Amino acid sequence: MGWPTLSLKNGNFIPMLSRYPFIRASEFPTAWYKDDPNAPINPELIEVLKTTVLKGFIHIDAADSYGTEREVEITIKESGIPRDKLFITTKVLKGWKDARVALNDSLQQLQVDYVEMYLLHNPYVIPTTAEIQTAWKGLETLHAEGKARNIGVSNFQRNHLEALLEDCSVVPAINQLEYHPYLQRADDYVPWMREHGIEISSFKTLAPITVGKGGPLDLPLSTIAAKHNTSTSTVVPRWVIDQNVVGGTHPGDPYILSDMYNGSQSTPHPSDPSASQVFLPRHQTVRKLANRIHEQRVVLARGTPSSGKTFLARSLHTYLRGQGVKSIYIRNFPLSLEGGPSALHYLLEACHIQGFAALGHSFLRDNFVFLIDDAHTTYNNSELWLILNAMNQDHLVNVPGASFCMFSAFGTPDRGVMPHNMGSDLLVFNEHQRVFMVERFADDISLFYTTEEVDLYMEMHFQARGSDYEICDILKDTIHGLTGGQPELMDAFMHLCDMLYEAFYKDDELDIISEDDSEITQLFEVRGILEVTIAAIVNFAGLPLSPETFFPPEQEFEVLRQAQHARGQGLLFDPQSEAMLSCLTKGWLHMEENREGEFRCCFPTMFHNRLVEYLMGVQDLRYPTPPTLNRGELELMFRMRNMTIS
C-alpha cells in the first residue's frame, strides 16, 4: 500500500505525489526559493520537509536553481528513512552546458550517489535546438553511468520534444508541466506525449485552491469534498492522479500536507487495493475539534511542549480551509503590544495577510475562526483575552461572531502557570471548552494520539518504509503505554525501531521485531539504554534534560523526585514554587484538576516517569551513569550484548 505509483516506459516506477523544496513569493507568503545557494540553511524548510517525508511523501523534487539541495540532504539524514525508500528528483538549469558537472555538484549537495530522476529544467534558457539536443546527450550519458536512474525534461513544449525525439537514444521518461483542472493541456498534447512513451508530472497541482481560489471550480470542488467527507485539498490531487499524472506540491502551505495524505488514501482509485484505508492519524480528532469550536466558540487546547499542538492546529487549519471556513492560523501572537498595534488590529491584519477582506471592529461579527498557537505567551495580554471573553459571552446569548481555539503548551489564563504566576482571570473554560492532553472518555478531544490513532500512526510509519518490517502487538502496546500517544515520543520510538531493524534484523532477512528478542529484552531491562537513546533521538525536545549533565537543575529534580514518590496521585500545585512552575513550563510535569477541585501535577507520560526514576537510581548509585550522547556510542551500545549493571 502507500502512495500510488506510475509505471514508466522503461519499467521503473515513480510515486504519484511529490514535494518541492521551494515556494515562490508570488504564490505563498514565505519564500524558500534561494537566489543565493550560499545563503544560510533554512531550518523551517527542513522541518516542513521532514514532516513531509515522515508522513509518506517519499518523492522529493529538487533543482539546482532552487538553492535548497542542502536542506534536502539534511532532511534525508535526519528523517532516518533509508535512502532506498526515497525517490529523489533534481533538475539542471544553471549548468545545462555541462550536465556531468552539474549533477556531480547536486549529488555532493544531496550527499547521495545517484538520483531516481534527473530533468533538463527549461528549454527556454538554451539558445538553440542543437544545444538542447547536445544537453540531452549529456543526460543520456549520466543515465548510462547509473548516476540518474531515469531522465526527463521540464517545461518542454511539443516542438522541443519533437527536436529531442529526432536525435535521442533515450526517450524522456517525464515531462514536468503545470497541470491542474484549470490547465489540462489541450490540442492533444498529453495523448501525443504518451504515444511516444513520455509521462506527465505536474507542478502547481493545488492552483485551483490556492492562486486560483475564487474561480468557477470552487463550488464543484466543495461539493465533491462534502460528498466524500474530505476537503478540497484532497480532491484536487486525487483528480490529478486519476489522470495518470504525477502530482506535485510546494511546502509553502505546510498545513495542507495532512489532508493531502488523508485524501490520497480516503478517495483512492477503485482499483487501488488500499481503497478502504485511511492513514492520517488525526483525521477524526480534527473533525471533532472543528465541531467543538463551532459549538463552543472559544476552546483551549492545553498540553505540554512537544504534545502535538502545532501539528493539530495546522491540520485543523487545513481541514477548515478545505471546508470553506475562513480559518486564520497565527503561529505566534506578539508577546507584548505596548507601543505597537492593538490585539484587535493584529487579528484584523492576520485576516488581510491570509487573503480575506475584513473591516474594522465588525470583522469579529463575521464567521472567522482564529487558531492561535503558542497561546501560553498571551496569558498576560488582557486585551486579547477580553476579546475572547466577549466572544464567549456572545455565544451564551446566541449572538454570532468569530471563534477562537487557543493552543497552549502549559497553564490556563485563569490558572496562569507562567514564571511569577502571571495570568488572567478573564475567562474560565468549562470542560466542554477544553482539549485535554490525554483522552479520558469517548467524547474527549486530546492532544496526544488516541489508541486508534496510535495504530494508524504506526501503520502509516511502516507504509512509508515500504512495509519492510513490523513489530509485534506486545511491543506496540509497550510503546503506547510508555508514550501515552505523545506525538514526538511516538516519533522517537518508531525511529528507534528503525535503528534496531537496520542493526539486528535486516541482514538476517527477519521482518518482525518481537518483545522477547534478546536485543529488545536488553533495551527494556538494562536501565539507561532506552532512556538515553530516546533522549538523544528527540534531541532533548519534549524531554527537558541538560545535554551536558543529563540531569535537570537540582531544585527542579527535587520536585520531580516528589512527583515520582507521589505516583498516580500527583503533587498538589504550589503557585509559589518557582521550581514547580519551571517543571510545568519545560514539560516535565502536567497539571490537571481532580474530582475534588484540586490542581495536581503529574508526569505527562510513563516514559517521563521512567526517566526520572532512572535518574534517581543513578543519583542513588543503583543504576549505571548515562553514556555520552553521540551517535557512534549509541550504536556501539546497541551491540553490547552482555551489558550488566554494576
Q: Catalytic residue positions?
A: 66
| Secondary structure (H, E, C), 71-132 | HHHHHHHHHCCCHHHCEEEEEECCCCCCHHHHHHHHHHHHCCCCEEEEEECCHHHCCCHHHH
Residues 6+ apart with CB under 8 A from 427: 298, 385, 388, 389, 392, 413, 414
The three three-digit cell numbers of residue 242, written as one number? 486519476
Where b means 16+ CB within 10 Å and e means fewer, 101-117 reads: ebbebbbebbebebbbb
* Spatial contact of 163 and 129, defined as CB atoms under 8 Å apart: yes
Cβ neighbours of residue 290 under 8 Å, at least 6 residues apart? 316, 319, 320, 323, 325
Q: Other CB atoms closer than 10 Å to residue 524's CB: what's the count? A: 14
The H-assigned helical ranges of 487-576 are 487-500, 518-525, 529-537, 554-566
DSSP letter, residue 192: H
Rounded CA separation 588/305 (Å): 9
Position 636: which residue type?
L
Rounded to whole angstroms, how far apart are CA atoms 16 and 4? 6
* CA nearest to 80, candidates 631, 641, 639, 515: 631
Residue 303 corresponds to which cell in the numbers above?
498540553
Query: Helix (H, G, I), strand (E, B), or coil: what is residue 199?
Result: strand
Opening angle at CA 361, ends 359 and 365, nearest 5:
90
Q: Cα(106)–Cα(111) distance, rounded to whole angstroms?
A: 8
Alpha-carbon dihedral 503, 507, 512, 517, rounded to 10 degrees: -60
Q: Which of left, alpha, beta for 312 (phi over 0: left; psi -120 to 50: alpha)? A: alpha
Distance of CA 175 to the CA centre of its chain: 29
Long-range interactions of 613-622: CB distance < 8 A, separation 24+: 613/564, 614/527, 614/528, 614/531, 615/550, 615/551, 615/557, 616/561, 616/564, 617/527, 618/528, 619/551
Give the C-alpha separation, 423 to 415, whole Å: 7
